[in-house]
Structure 1
Amino acid sequence: MNAVRSSRSAAAPVSAEHLTHPRSLAAFRATKLLLGGYLGISVLTLVAIVLLRDDSADVNSAVWVRGTIVVVSALVTYGCAVRAARGSRSAYRRLRVISGVMVVAIAAIIALPGAFPLWMKAEQGLCGVLLIAVVALVNGSHLRSLFASK
């Protein structure tokens, strides 16, 4: 296991020249902007959940759990984007995985009948659109080649 770990950490770091390339800067700027929107919407949704907590038709336990998970995942994803923009290969991998998984989870929430109110499904749909754009950016050929193991 140590041999595997040391070979991963021995990968050449992403050069500052590649990170400051105009295409890299634009991709990370757009990614952070989209994830900032995702985080903002997620926090506003959690605020709405708190304000609507006495309305059992609009806020049930599934809404509380999902709302909390989304804020945490938005914070983690944004942090990964910031670290990836600084050259962290592991943060870039996490960013790709988390954003993809969240898109699938959002699709499931929208498709599942009953557990979530319509307002939350609409909010999740908006978050999904932002995350689909993130997935497209971070899985694009430029960023993939930037973080490819050398």
Structure 2
Amino acid sequence: MDSLLRRLDRIAGGRHAGYTVPEEGTTHPRTRRAFVVIGWLLVAELLIGVAAVAVATVLTLDGTRVPFAVWMRSVVVLGMTVTLFYFAWRAQKGYYWAYSRLRLFSKIFPVVTLVIAAIPGLYPLWMVSEQILFSLILIGVADYLDSDHMRAAFPRPGNQGTIGDVRA
């Protein structure tokens, strides 16, 4: 299992896959609290994704034509959420690459999602609402990851500062 995780880390993390941040940053109470909240926000994302699939399924079984775009969006949301869980888990273990990817994707996905939701007629209203909620939750994840404390706890490779006077 460890071999598989190292291989996944190498694919996702690139040349910095093995770099971990100083333990003082990952064990700091504020860091742990941030990851608890991020975990719950990702659980909310997962529930939203499952609910989207459930709504599409119920509508289909009821005889309503559900556009292919809705099915694709539902599958993509679930896949993205699983990926974000993986990044959050590895970031909690101190992997900078995972923190960096989680931070990046929690900023990019809401923008892409909102732009796509704004395309007239692409999705039914319930799916547009789901996308807006999805985006708001991810913006919350990005907000936690972008805090001064989290950026100090996860210094870039080659820039190993300390979390210094970041207080609990």
Query: In the comparison of the two structures, how many residue pairs are matched?
Result: 142
Which one of the candidate residues 35, 42, 60 is aligned to 1:35? 42
Aligned counterparts of 1:90 and 1:140: Cα–Cα separation in 2: 17
- 1:28, CA displacement in angstroms? 0.8
Aligned counterparts of 1:125 and 1:10: Cα–Cα separation in 2: 35
Aligned counterparts of 1:139 and 1:109: Cα–Cα separation in 2: 25
Give the 3 Å change call, closer, same or farther, for CA 91–78 of structure 1 in structure 2: same
- 1:10, CA displacement in angstroms? 7.2
Number of the residue aligned with 2:111:
104
- 1:139, CA displacement in angstroms? 1.6
Aligned counterparts of 2:118 and 2:53: Cα–Cα separation in 1: 21
Number of the residue aligned with 1:55:
64
Structure 1: which 5+ residue stretches go unaligned?
none
- Within the alignment, does 1:127 sit opposite 2:127 as a pair? no
* CA offset digits 1:43-71 (Å, max 9, x no partner): 12112212222412xx2011011111011
TM value normalised by structure 2: 0.78
Aligned counterparts of 1:25 and 1:69: Cα–Cα separation in 2: 28
Percent of paired sites with the same residue: 35
Amino acid at match of 2:114: A
Aligned counterparts of 2:43 and 2:22: Cα–Cα separation in 1: 26
Aligned counterparts of 1:10 and 1:35: Cα–Cα separation in 2: 25
Aligned counterparts of 2:73 and 2:142: Cα–Cα separation in 1: 21
Structure 2: which 5+ residue stretches go unaligned?
1-13, 161-168
Aligned counterparts of 1:120 and 1:9: Cα–Cα separation in 2: 36
SS in 2 for 1:114: coil
RMSD: 1.7
Aligned counterparts of 1:106 and 1:137: Cα–Cα separation in 2: 20
